[in-house]
Homo-oligomer: A and B are copies of this chain.
């Protein structure tokens, strides 16, 4: 069953259930253990990316029937889960969605190949639709930017001279790209003109940027609730926006703490306090707000419809999490 956040939108919830089913049928390997884990990973999540794709498929000239939308909706979730599996190997995260991660249960080897398998499945699902639209494939390839974003992050990691601009560029690839792609694909399959496609792409991008920054901010306040240890990233030299704002402001205390070779829990706490007390956390919230504001004002310009209202409500829910 679709995640409870979709309760208010039963039609969308139903489409997302079909998407999950479609993925489960598409995942087809002899190895039943790994099949089971992939199916679990593609069941419990919020499925935001397919949801945005489905919502944005409402604004062009053509209304595709659900059955034609599902393979593409599925492909976006498959791509997302591929990146999650690899991210979990990289961060050595023990849990994901309240379940042990694949590498924890069946080793790094199977987790890496399972991710690779899903990358390929992504392209397969995309290409099932190819007869109708080669533009979709061209856009699908923009997922490359996600990986370029991840590789460019090396330039920020453990870099106390990282700037907000560097950070925004990096999350633009790492997170916003897939939201942007989901929205753009919706516009493309509904036969939207270039104007509409660009607008949807922009909205998706802004939602993705806000989403990542909000995630960074939530990491400070309720890390216990979202199932990963606090500030794991910090110890790995991955600085989230609140820290970067402090570093960029030239906060000497913060620079001193983060310049240490190995961070203790004490250092972690100290850095957190500096970031909160000096208002860097609030600054990050404001930046998130500026993205959701722009997204909402662009959503206003979309054709008036039920889906337009749903999109607005979703963006508001998103930003309300850090009120």
A residues engaging B (CB < 8 A)?
29-31, 33-34, 82-83, 86, 89-90, 106, 108-110, 112-117, 119-121, 123-124, 127, 130, 134, 137-138, 140-141, 143-144, 147-148, 150-152, 154-155
Q: Is chain A's interface secondary structure helix, strand, loop, or mixed overall?
A: helix
Tally of this chain's copies: 2
Given A29-B151, A34-B151, A34-B154, does the pair A127, B137 have CB atoms closer than 8 Å? yes
> Could you list 28 A-B pairs, sorted by A, with CB under 8 Å?
A30-B148, A30-B151, A30-B152, A30-B155, A31-B155, A34-B154, A82-B116, A83-B116, A86-B113, A89-B108, A89-B112, A90-B109, A106-B154, A109-B150, A109-B154, A110-B154, A114-B151, A116-B119, A116-B150, A117-B147, A117-B148, A117-B151, A120-B141, A120-B144, A123-B123, A123-B141, A130-B134, A137-B137
Roughly how many angstroms separate A150 CA and B107 CA in the complex, as a whole number? 13
Q: Contact at A113–B151, with CB atoms within 8 Å?
A: yes
Instruction: Tell me which residues across on chain B come within 8 A of A144, comparing CB atoms.
Output: 117, 120-121, 124
Q: Contact at B112–A90, with CB atoms within 8 Å?
A: yes
Taking the closest CB of chain B, its distance from the CB of A123, in whole angstroms, is 5
Roughly how many angstroms separate A12 CA and B205 CA in the complex, as a whole number? 45
Instruction: Tell me which residues across on chain B come within 8 A of A127, comparing CB atoms.
Output: 137-138, 141
Roughly how many angstroms separate A115 CA and B90 CA in the complex, as a whole number? 13
